[in-house]
Amino acid sequence: MTPDAQDVGGNDQQGWSQSARRRGAVAVVDLAAVTHNTARMLAAAGGAAVMAVVKADAYGHGLVPCALAAQRGGATWLGTALFEEALRLRDAGVGGPILAWLSGPGADWDAVLARGIDVSVSAPWALPELTAAAGRVGRPARVHLKVDTGLSRAGSQPTDWPDLVTAAAQAQALGAVEVVGLWSHLACADTPEHPANSTALQRFHDAYGQATAAGLTPQVRHLANSAATLALPDTRLDLVRPGIALYGISPGEQIGTVRALGLRAAMSLRARLALVKRVPAGQGVSYGHAYVTDRETVLGLVPLGYGDGIARSAANRGPVQAGLLRTSVVGQVCMDQVVVDLGPGSAARIGDEVVLFGDAGTGVPEVEDWGRATGTIGYEVVTRIGPRVPRAYVGGVA
C-alpha cells in the first residue's frame, strides 16, 4: 500500500492514525510545513516561477498530498523523474504543468502526451519516437531540451547540442513537438563558490543562444535546484526546481541550517516501544554483540529496522529522543527492529513514544543529525523510509 493510499483519518494530535497505532510506528507528515517551505522558496526565487520536485514519492513524504500542498504554497509546476509518477498525479486529479524527465527508448510516450505531461529530451533518438506518439495521440509533444552543463548525467553534451536543437526545430516545424523549455542541472550548487557553477551557467547561456539561432523560442529556462535557488541568484532564470528544501531539509551545510533558511521540517518519524526490560551490566545487545551494557540499564525495543529504511550504519549511533532523554540505537540494526538504551533510572513503559527525527525546534533529532550519524545526506534518510511505515498527514488536506 502506498503512502498516498493509507488511512489518514482518525489521527490524534501527534498524528497517530489507526493504522499507525496498529503498526507501532508512523511517519507524520506536516503538509502545512510543505506549503510554508514552498512559499519560502517562491520568495527566494526572485520572480521566477517554482516547479515543486515531488519525485520518489515526494522524497518519501507522499506524492499526491505533497504535490497539492506545494501548489497551495505557490508552485505552478510539478516535477517528477518517472513517467509513472507523473501519471499518478494526473490520475489523482492534480492539474497544472508537470515535467517528467527520465525515460529510455520504448517509453510509454502515448500515455504522458495524452495526459498533457511535458517530457525531457537529451538526445535526437527520442524525437522520432515522440513524433510517432504525437501522431497517434493527436497532439504535439511538449518538450524540454536538456543540455549537460557539467554534471555528466542526463543532458546533451555541448558538442552534440547543435544536432539536437536542429532536429528539435525540424520536428517542431512539422507540428510534432513544441519546445517549451530548456534546462540543465548544476553539479556543485551546494558549494556556492565552486567555479563549476559559473562555468555551468555560461554553458547554459551558450546553449540557449544556439537554440534560439536554430529557431527555437523556449518559454521557460530552468537550472536552479534548492541550493541554487537559495544561494545562486544568477541561476534562477524563469523557473526554479526546489526539491529537498520543500520538505524542510537543508540542501547543504554551506547553504545554511534549516532554521537559518526559514524552513520547517515536514516529516517526523515516531515509534512506540514494543518492549521494555531491565538487563544487567555486561549484557550483549543485538546480533554480534556490537554493544555490551557497561552497567545495569533499561533497554527499549523500537519496531523499526532496515526493512523500513533505517540504515544499518545507525548501529550504536542513530539518535533517538525518548521523553527528555537523548539516547541512541545500540547494537546492530535488525530488519524489523532496533534497541535503544534508556538508562538505569528509566521509568519507560511499553507503548511510550520515541522520536527518531523531526522538527529540531521541539527538541528532537533532525534529519541532518541522522545523516551525519549514518554517513549520508538528509535526502537519503527520508527517501529510505519505506511503505511499511504508515504516513499520517497533519496540517492540511491529504
User: Could you give the CA distance from residue 15 to residue 394 in angstroms, rounded to a whole number?
Assistant: 6
Smallest CA-to-CA distance from 121 within 64, 77, 163, 69 is with: 163
DSSP string, 246-260: GGT--S-TTT--TTT
- Tens digit of pLDDT at every position of the chain (398 positions): 344 434 444 455 567 878 888 889 999 999 999 999 999 999 999 999 999 999 999 999 999 999 999 999 999 999 999 999 999 999 999 999 999 999 999 999 999 999 999 999 999 999 999 999 999 999 999 999 999 999 999 999 999 999 999 999 999 999 999 999 999 999 999 999 999 999 999 999 999 999 999 999 999 999 999 999 999 999 999 999 999 999 999 999 999 999 999 999 999 999 999 999 999 999 999 999 999 999 999 999 999 999 999 999 999 999 999 999 999 999 999 999 999 999 999 999 999 999 999 998 899 999 999 999 999 999 999 999 999 999 999 998 65
User: Residue 196 is inside which H or E element, if any?
Assistant: helix 195-213
Smallest CA-to-CA distance from 58 within 31, 95, 23 is with: 31
Residue 7 pLDDT: 44
Smallest CA-to-CA distance from 220 within 206, 232, 208, 210 is with: 208
Residue 324 C-alpha cell reads as: 527528555
- The residues with which 272 forms a beta bridge, in sequence order, are 353
Estimate the share of the chain in helix, then strand, then coil, as percent rounded to the nearest 5. Answer: 35, 25, 45
- The residues with which 368 forms a beta bridge, in sequence order, are none
Backbone φ and ψ of 109, nearest 5°: -60, -35
User: Could you give the CA distance from residue 125 to residue 131 in angstroms, rounded to a whole number?
Assistant: 11
Which positions are annotated as active-site residues?
55, 287
> Residue type for 284, please?
G
Residue 270 C-alpha cell reads as: 515516531
Judge contact between 303 and 25, C-beta under 8 A: yes
Residue 18 pLDDT: 80
Helix, strand, or coil (residue 341): strand
To the question of pTM greater than 0.85 for the whole model, the response is yes
First to last CA, the chain: 16
